[in-house]
Structure 1
Amino acid sequence: MSLKEQSILVAGGGSTFTPGIVLMLLENLDKFPIRQLKFYDNDKERQQQIADATEVILKERAPHIKFVATTDPEEAFSDIDFVMAHIRVGKYAMREKDEKIPLKYGVIGQETCGPGGIAYGMRSIGGVLELIDYMEQYSPEAWMLNYSNPAAIVAEATRKLRPNSKIINICDMPVGIENRMKDVLGLESRKDMTVKYYGLNHFGWWTDIRDRDGKDLMPELKEWVSKNGYITPDELNGAAEEEVEPSWFYTFGKAKEVQWLDPDTLPNTYLKYYFYPQDEVEHSDPEHTRANEVMEHREKNTFTECNRIANIQTAEDAKLEADEHATYIVDLARAIAYNSKERMLLIVPNKGAIVNFDEDAMVEVPCIVGSQGAEPLTQGEIPRFQKGLMEQQVAVEKLVVEAWTEGSYQKLWQALFLSKTMPNARVAKQILDDLIEVNKEYWPELT
């Protein structure tokens, strides 16, 4: 039986991640056939550079796919089956401010955690809601697969403000960590593992990992992570095929100190920002943050390569690669399109998945995915340690969405103060006032 060909819209067509998504889609045409691919972005010039290279790639590898790049919502969102959304409102220039303003006050500046994540969330909510509204207006049967950051705040906003929308919020970070786990274990694929996991986005723990035969892999992994974090054997031995950026190498190594807090589980790497915020400040350069690294390397390299491909009109020797998160999003789209019942970690309303936790919280847990969306798998009760941490963080996320909805300065101040990265309420207010000043173009007015 032939599979129905899909029409895909990449919302955020000018993203540096878009070429990786295109390449992964092309590598999976036998499992996920495509009749039409569209790009949508509000920055025409930035998107055009990615689009020009994509046009060359499609002509060489899949000339049957109709390709459109547009800034017009009606043209973009009409006749589509899936919206793959990864927008960055304010681009990397605003991410740089998210990271550097908190560091002025001795507080970690990070894209999705603490005050930087809150600032980014306040920008992202409106942008993602706009995409949902366009989709429902022009292609009401379509699904949105959203991995726009900060995923936790965006997911809470969509739950509260668009509760009936066909949207699934996802994150690729667990995929990246599981790829490291399989390297530690010597497995061929992360899909050789079945995992149990619970938490919030960028705030979770693996509790059980088994191979296809049901063998418990946790003892070996826990021993490795307690000594090495998520640094792989090849990286330790200097035999890795690709060199990891210094900031990520430090992050993967730091995971061992996070794991010490609960040796019975394996942590998401982002927990380091909440468990050791002072260490992260000390390790940061307030003049040169992760945003600068991305602009100087990934962003520069991606656009340079796309322009080169467009100029020579061939992608035969292209240096672009499919991204890890692109693999994940193709698996998710395929599961919905063809009801394949894939097991995946997704961000969903709790509704009993974690028995002793807030029903309305957006939690990250394993789900079975089919044509009706995600069905969460119950993870049972969680320990007091994780429950306490998660309740505090959920309160932050809910307060941010309430602040955006109500235009409430007070609630956003409360959200900032409640983050475990924040030393006191006075510093939270100082950071908030600075963030308001630079986000006037993007945030609702707060009173």
Structure 2
Amino acid sequence: MKKNGLKVVTIGGGSSYTPELIEGFIKRYDTLPINELWLVDIEEGKEKLDIVGNLAKRMVEKANIPMEIHLTLDRQAALKDADFVTTQFRVGQLEARAKDEEIPLKYDVIGQETNGPGGLFKALRTIPVMLEIVKEMEVLCPNAWLINFTNPAGMIVEAIFRYTNWKKVIGLCNVPIGMERGVAKSLEVDAERIRIDFGGLNHMVFGLTIYLDGEDITEKAIDKIAADASEINMKNIKSVSFEPDFIKGLKVLPCPYHKYYYKQKEMLEGELNDLKESGVRAKVVQKLEETLFETYKNENLREKPKELEQRGGAYYSDVACNLINSIYNDKGDIQTVNTLNKGAIASIPSDSVIEVSSVITKNGPKPFAIGDLPIPVLGLVQQIKSFERTTIDAAVTGNYHTALLAMTINPLVPSDTIAKQILDEMLEAHKEFVPQFK
């Protein structure tokens, strides 16, 4: 890795989240000297790339650091000799997400971006593109680290591990850091004083042990949060509280996405209601993004605007930039990442990807040895893992029967008949982006 300045490439550079990333890199410039940042997008994203890219240039200029910002639609030119590649793209853009959310609702099934049928289709569209990017990296930047933020983050990283020879890949999500901040808020202490040991899968992760200043306070924290679970939520998930006694019985901290499983009825009713009133979340995000990009256009804007926090991606830059910083500087600090299990969670296959607290070194993450997850949560995690593995195989092979199997295994889908109906309708709706299914 070049000690005289790094080259970082962000694929999906026209994303509304990019200003978060720029802010994070600027903040850490002293320890993470990036002298080239390449923002890459596709033809359909060119206008957004230009708007975000110009804001990025103004931010860097204001910070007075020697970081060159390059904007390009030529991915291969960007990847050449990169040190770090971050991915944050959405195949089919928000229109595809809207279909993922709307179609299942016709069948009284939760329509969500990374859970249930929506999660299946996001994976089917995204995994082949990601494997293509890895192929290019093998030739153009064989020593780079790939830091993936694209959802479904865990499945994408597992697909890379299982279907390519690429080993330097880590998946990231802002849910764990959001949960730590939520616990801190609930206990009314500074966020820096709270640390949680996490174990599970992406969007299916549990806070297993909660520490305040290094002391285990799990039981006390669970009781406090059970009484007021509103702090453990995200902008993009309906605010429905768990039953306090359920949380006390669970004895570990669920993540906001667990509501789709433990509060399926309420979440479905909420989505059907939203569909009538304001449309699915993708439609809300589309409006948010229109406003954001109008804000980004302002020539006088030279910092990340406050409105970005409404997008549901809060703390994104801290998570991504901290990880890159820790690898580059071999920090050995603890972060929660998506990485190969290698026996860290006993009842999950070793070649599967898990989301787990890990020590971050220049050679990548060293996951904590969790042993087994508590019995009350283990079954659900294993069921989701079988769904993920089957989905990955379907995405790579384009096999219809494997895709149907994945859809039916998912606990949000009530029967194989409904699974087939949803699968057929979604394959038709997304045919442009799932060419592997002839």
| TM-score for the superposition, normalised by structure 2 | 0.92
Cα deviation, residue 357, structure 1 = 2.9
Whether 2:5 is the aligned partner of 1:5: answer: yes
Structure 2 counterpart SS, 1:88: coil
Residue equivalent to 1:142: 144
CA distance in 2, matches of 1:332, 1:346: 9
CA distance in 2, matches of 1:150, 1:316: 29
Whether 2:385 is the aligned partner of 1:369: answer: no
| Conserved 8 A contact 2:226-2:248 | no
Whether 2:263 is the aligned partner of 1:276: answer: yes
CA distance in 1, matches of 2:128, 2:221: 40
Cα deviation, residue 218, structure 1 = 1.5
Residue equivalent to 1:180: 182
The AA in structure 2 aligned to 1:126 is P
Unaligned runs of 5+ in 2: none
Cα deviation, residue 125, structure 1 = 0.4
| Conserved 8 A contact 1:104-1:286 | no
Q: Which moved more, 1:173-182 or 1:437-446?
A: 437-446
Cα deviation, residue 24, structure 1 = 1.6
Partner deviation per Cα, 1:219-265 (whole Å, 9 max, x = no partner): 23211221221427xx9xxxxxxxx85x64x43x4245695384311
CA distance in 2, matches of 1:71, 1:403: 29
Partner deviation per Cα, 1:47-75 (whole Å, 9 max, x = no partner): 11211222222222235211101011232
Residue equivalent to 1:308: 298
TM-aligned CA distance change 1:276 to 1:34, over 3 Å: same
Whether 2:253 is the aligned partner of 1:266: answer: yes
Cα deviation, residue 116, structure 1 = 0.6
The AA in structure 2 aligned to 1:404 is A
| Conserved 8 A contact 2:341-2:354 | yes
Residue equivalent to 1:48: 50
Structure 2 counterpart SS, 1:181: helix
Cα deviation, residue 433, structure 1 = 0.6
Choose from 120, 123, 142 the match for 2:125: 123
Residue equivalent to 2:218: 218
| Conserved 8 A contact 1:107-1:278 | no
Residue equivalent to 2:329: 338
Structure 1 counterpart SS, 2:82: coil
Partner deviation per Cα, 1:50-109 (whole Å, 9 max, x = no partner): 112222222222352111010112321123211111111111111000000000110000
Residue equivalent to 1:199: 200
Cα deviation, residue 319, structure 1 = 4.9
CA distance in 2, matches of 1:275, 1:389: 10
Q: Please give the root-mean-square deviation of Cα atoms over the aligned residues, in Å.
A: 2.3
Choose from 403, 408, 411 the match for 1:412: 403
Choose from 362, 369, 387 the match for 1:396: 387
Cα deviation, residue 3, structure 1 = 6.6
Residue equivalent to 1:240: none
CA distance in 2, matches of 1:425, 1:261: 34
Residue equivalent to 1:84: 86
Partner deviation per Cα, 1:114-171 (whole Å, 9 max, x = no partner): 0011111111102222222222221111111101001122122112112433111111
Choose from 58, 61, 83 the match for 2:60: 58
Cα deviation, residue 40, structure 1 = 0.6
Structure 1 counterpart SS, 2:275: coil
Cα deviation, residue 413, structure 1 = 0.8
CA distance in 1, matches of 2:250, 2:376: 12
Partner deviation per Cα, 1:251-291 (whole Å, 9 max, x = no partner): 3x424569538431111111111222222110112351111
Structure 2 counterpart SS, 1:441: helix
Structure 2 counterpart SS, 1:148: coil
The AA in structure 2 aligned to 1:363 is I
Residue equivalent to 2:98: 96
Partner deviation per Cα, 1:285-323 (whole Å, 9 max, x = no partner): 2351111111111x12221111113xx5x5279556684
Residue equivalent to 2:160: 158
Unaligned runs of 5+ in 1: 236-243
| Conserved 8 A contact 1:10-1:84 | yes
The AA in structure 1 aligned to 2:209 is D
CA distance in 1, matches of 2:39, 2:32: 18
Partner deviation per Cα, 1:387-411 (whole Å, 9 max, x = no partner): 2111211111111111122221111
Residue equivalent to 2:275: 286
| Conserved 8 A contact 1:255-1:269 | no
Whether 2:9 is the aligned partner of 1:20: answer: no
Structure 2 counterpart SS, 1:53: helix
| Conserved 8 A contact 1:222-1:263 | no
CA distance in 2, matches of 1:379, 1:158: 23
